[in-house]
Amino acid sequence: MAAPSIPDASGRSLKQLVLGRKDVQDLSDTEQELAPDLMTVNMGPSHPAMHGTVRIVLTVDGERVVAGDVQPGYLHRCFEKESEHATFTQVFPYTDRLNYVSPMINNCGWAMVAEKLMGLTNEIPKRAEYIRVIVSEMSRMTDHLTCIGASAMELGAFAVFLFFLKAREWMYELLEKVSGARLTHSYVRIGGVGKDLPDNFHADLTLCLDQTVKVLAEGEGLLNNNKIFRDRMAGIGAMSRADAIATGCVGPIARAAGLDYDVRKDYPYSVYPEVEFDVPVGTTGDCYDRYLVRIEELKQSIRILRQCLAQIPDGPVMVNDHRVALPPKQATYNTIESMIRHFKHIMDGIRVPAGEAYAFVEGGNGELGFYVVADGTGRPYKAYVRSPSFVHLSTAAQLIHGHLIADVVPIFGMINMIGGECDK
């Protein structure tokens, strides 16, 4: 029912005066095109195509992104502040929840910063160091498999997602055998690792790697020369080498942009100097290069794992230092000395001498660093985590600028923002 139109002095209808615009049928042909105004679209914080819980307020001109306001923080858990109230050992479960797709690497980073403060860096038993590298590389594989699988799915390639998550699950099952937990392992300890590898681990991992190689071939066959996939990835969200350096990008993103930086090579830690591997570097810095770098890193991780399995020595998995090593249960229950040490380690925490240190590892997304100020007690005075996801997310607004709304999805997928790590 049309409202009666009472023209006023200027000839505008009441409706025009009230609504400030015309009905569609009142518009001229040219006016019927989309209004030239910019539109605001809310992406996230909860959205199936968003990696993690993050909100992007997009300003779009039609389908083209003019500006993106990226708002992280929905997964903030006060990691750094909480750590001040936990003993050094109690922080491990918190690190699991940083990049929860590769918690073993986070565990290693935290252990390393405490060991650095205690002067234990070179005292860790060889076997423990090999185990750390093995579980780290397995974690890197789960991280990359998830990233690629999920990104492919978001572009419609659902089969790849299923294949890659199948392979990831093999890894998770193995890591569960190692640590007792599928996802939040809390396996590494200051001075070594929590326990030795389970029986039959060599055979299990070898089988797992052999199968994963096949899965990777399948995935690559489905994606590498897939026209849709390449159209959606190649040339999208490109970043120059200079930009990567300027913004502090690390890991696969920086390497795809041609920056040859890998903590494992440039600041070698653990037993990485004892294994051979290559660091893939891209040229264009676009989403497709990021994908290729990750695929190649998966292959390099398999290479590292096979070498580790061949080289890992027998021996203890915990440093024989009473400052950090829990006494064996037998001794704890039967001697007062071990009982007291056990009590002190659990209740007061491993006493880390006063000082400050920064230790960093190559995480799934690049340099993951822990900076700790210790005051000589069993708890960190201050803990800071340099989380690669947070740095990478800060470039997201730049990367999506000028692209279509649909491109936000692969760009965001390849940034691989992990909420737990980004929001700390």
Binding site for another protein (CB under 8 A): 322-323, 327, 331, 333-341, 343-344, 347-348, 351, 377, 379
Instruction: State the first-to-last Cα distance of the chain, in angstroms, to the nearest integer.
Output: 56
Query: Residue 84 Cβ, how far from another protein at the closest point, in Å?
Result: 10
Q: Which CB sits closer to another protein, 213 or 346?
A: 346
Helix 158-179 vs helix 126-154: crossing angle, to nearest 10: 160
Nearer to another protein, 84 or 218 (CB): 84
Please report how close the Cβ of residue 331 comes to another protein at its closest, in angstroms.
7
415 with 150: CB under 8 angstroms?
no
Q: State whether residue 108 is helix, strand or coil.
A: helix
Considering the complex, what minimum distance in angstroms separates the CB of residue 191 from another protein? 14
CA 81 to chain centre: 21
* 223 touches 397 (CB < 8 A): no
Judged by beta carbon, residue 349 or residue 413, the one nearer another protein is: 349
Cβ 124 to another protein shortest distance, Å: 19
Residue (210 or 337) nearer to another protein, CB = 337
The span from the CA of 81 to the CA of 293, in Å, is: 35
Residues 343 and 337: their CA atoms lie apart, in Å, by 10
Least separation, in Å, of the C-beta of 373 and another protein? 16
Question: How far is residue 356 from each of residues 86, 225, 370, 373, 381, measured CA to CA in Å?
Answer: 17, 49, 10, 4, 10
Question: Nearest approach, Cβ of 256 to another protein (angstroms)?
Answer: 46
For residues 208 and 199, what is the distance between their CA atoms, to the nearest angstrom? 15
Cα→Cα distances 162→157, 218, 418, 423, Å:
9, 11, 20, 28
- CA dist 101 and 418 (Å) reads 8
Q: Give the CA dihedral 148, 149, 155, 158, nearest 10 degrees.
A: 160
> Looking at beta carbons only, is 251 or 327 nearer to another protein?
327
Q: State the nearest-atom distance from the C-beta of 334 to another protein, in Å.
A: 7
Closer of 181 and 331 to another protein (Cβ): 331
Beta carbon of residue 353, minimum distance to another protein (angstroms, whole number):
8
- Bridge partners, 373 (sequence order): 356, 382
Q: Is the Cβ of residue 283 or residue 335 nearer to another protein in the bound state? A: 335
Closest approach, Cβ 326 to another protein, in A, equals 12
Q: Which is nearer to another protein, 66 or 354 (CB)?
A: 354
Question: What is the distance between the alpha carbons of residues 39 and 58, in angstroms, rounded to a whole number?
Answer: 8
**What's the Cα-to-Cα distance from 348 to each of 86, 119, 194, 376, rounded to whole Å?**
9, 20, 19, 11
Rounded CA gap, 151 and 410, in Å? 6
Between 8 and 348, name the residue whose CB sits nearer to another protein.
Answer: 348
54 vs 324, which CB is nearer to another protein? 324
Smallest distance from another protein to CB 335, Å: 4
Q: How far is CA 268 from the centre of its chain?
A: 20
Rg (CA), the chain: 26
